[in-house]
Amino acid sequence: MPTQLIIADDHPLFRAALHQTVQRLFPDARVIEAEDMASLERAVGLHPEADLVLLDLHMPGAHGFSSLLFLRNQSPGTAVMVVSGVEGQSVIRRAMDFGAAGFIPKSAPLDTIGEAIRTVLDGGLWFSQDVESMPSAPDDVDLVSKLASLTPQQQRVLMMIADGLLNKQIAFTLAISEATVKAHVTAILRKLGLYSRTQAAVIVERLQAHAPQLAASPVAVAATPSAPPA
């Protein structure tokens, strides 16, 4: 079966450049594009057998690492590599902890991005040794464990709660009943050990991919991959 990749990025020029790189490396590959979280969910639903998702963390409809967590929950057999303009070491470490198979800065040359793609498709990881040696944040480990207990639909509801949507608005968007939404909200609060929608919104805020203290010193991720490119 030909290699299948999903490119999820809201910038059309960068999507086109990634698409060209993939087609150059894998002429027979099938490439599906997504421009926001909604189209990414559709793409994953239509192509559950996809080999790799190249994921931008700042797409419309996503809350930082929420898209990565959704993918790991919805399609655990599909590898995910983050391709982001946010390059701080703590952000890269969090991507690893949240289940990414690699992290490439958008500033990396397209040839380097190609090498990273090939490495991950071959079953390797693509992170710098410095990042791999960093300890995981205990709060992140706990957060990943709790969010992993949510179903994909509950994750959608949680993101909409964070966006300030009311139950009837969530019901309309997801084409389900308000009673079903209420049941999801109850289950979400129970699984996350919370008592209110406000607390749920705060949990989602912790998924944002910000690293202002490290933004001035990006990691040369491609310099020392975990597994050498094939």
Q: Check pLDDT > 70 for residue 40.
A: yes
Q: CATH code for 138-205? A: 1.10.10.10
Q: Are 105 and 84 in contact (CB under 8 A)?
A: yes
CA dihedral for 214, 147, 183, 196, sign (positive or negative): negative
| Number of CB atoms found within 10 A of residue 225's CB | 21
Region for residue 64 given its phi and psi (left: phi exceeds 0; alpha: psi -120 to 50; beta: otherwise): left
Q: Where are the domains of the chain?
A: 4-135+211-223, 138-205
Write the burial class of residue 25 (CB in 10 Å: 0-12 exposed, 13-18 middle, 19+ buried).
Answer: middle
What b/e string do you get for 43-54 counting C-beta neighbours within 10 Å, with b at 16 or more?
bbeebeebbbbb
Among the residue ranges 131-140, 175-184, 191-200, the one predicted with the least confidence is 131-140
d(CA 108, CA 124): 19
Looking at the domain covering 4-135+211-223, what would its CATH class be? Answer: alpha beta
Give 117-174 pLDDT, tens digit per residue. 999 999 999 997 788 788 777 778 888 888 889 998 999 999 999 999 999 999 999 9
* Residues contacting 195, CB < 8 A, separation 6+: 189
Please give the mean pLDDT across all residues of the chain: 85
Which pTM was predicted?
Answer: 0.81
Q: What is the residue type of 20? A: Q
